[in-house]
Amino acid sequence: MAPPQDRSCYVLELSVGPGGSRWAELHTYTSLDHLRACLDVFLENGGGTSAYHAIYYGATLGVWTVQGGDVVGFVDLHPFIQVRHLDKPPVALTDEAGTSALVYARRKELYEKDREGADAEDEEDEIPGPNEWDDSDLITYEEMTMAVDWSGVLARLPALEPPLLAPGERAKVRYDRWTKSPRAMYASNKSVRFGSHDVEGGEKLDPPFEIEMPASDDEDEDEDDEFDD
């Protein structure tokens, strides 16, 4: 496999760091349409996992800009994403009190429903506090829908400078010009490969679109070199 090159690209990072629900995806492309398509899969909130990661764990959701191998920008997507629970008004991900209130309100509804017809002993069960976990919250997360103000995101992303990363290539990732937070991509990558990858599982992900990859590209070769600690 060819070594990483000084290439430009965008990297959509969707992750929860070690210590939480360890999960990390990096979607590396040069087309903003491809980036949006990958984000839309996340926003579909299949099984409630997206809302769960975003709200309960405060997942990293953002777009990195790499110009010629140098990280030059990061756009946090939280201010541009809203969640809605059933018929309630949408709430921005940045409104932690608002999202917590949605979850807790539904929790109380579910507890009250379970108490109907329950015996006196069960009726005395206390509802866990707003800052505590309850398994019923998973129902709420699955009932949520998510949407993004993509035009707002686009306004903050610079155009990529040639040469652009191509299918089958890897781009160098240097942080010499980057002094802001977050300090680095998940796993402190020294390089990123074109395409979509599950960083935790070390697997390639199928994107929601088709891209012709070079016949000589071997996704398994030198995989450990791609995500260095």
**Whether residue 38 has pLDDT greater than 50:** yes
pLDDT in tens, 175-191: 999 999 888 998 767 99
Query: What pLDDT was estimated at residue 19?
Result: 67
Helix (H/G/I), strand (E/B), else coil: 1:
coil
**Whether residue 61 has pLDDT greater than 50:** yes
- Whether the bond into 207 is cis, omega within 30 of 0: no
- For range 112-122, the mean pLDDT: 64
**Whether residue 193 has pLDDT greater than 50:** yes
**Whether residue 117 has pLDDT greater than 70:** no
Question: Helical H runs in the chain?
Answer: 32-43, 49-51, 96-115, 120-123, 137-143, 150-154, 223-226
Tokens coding 193 = 């490969």
pLDDT in tens, 124-155: 568 777 777 888 899 999 999 999 999 999 99
Distance between CA atoms of residues 197 and 204, nearest Å: 4
Query: What pLDDT was estimated at residue 222?
Result: 46
Q: Which of 226, 197, 208, 177 is nearest to 31 (CA)?
A: 208
pLDDT in tens, 65-92: 999 999 999 999 999 999 999 999 999 9
Q: Are the beta carbons of 182 and 26 closer than 8 angstroms?
A: no
Residue 17 CA: distances (Å) to CA of 46, 182, 227: 20, 12, 15
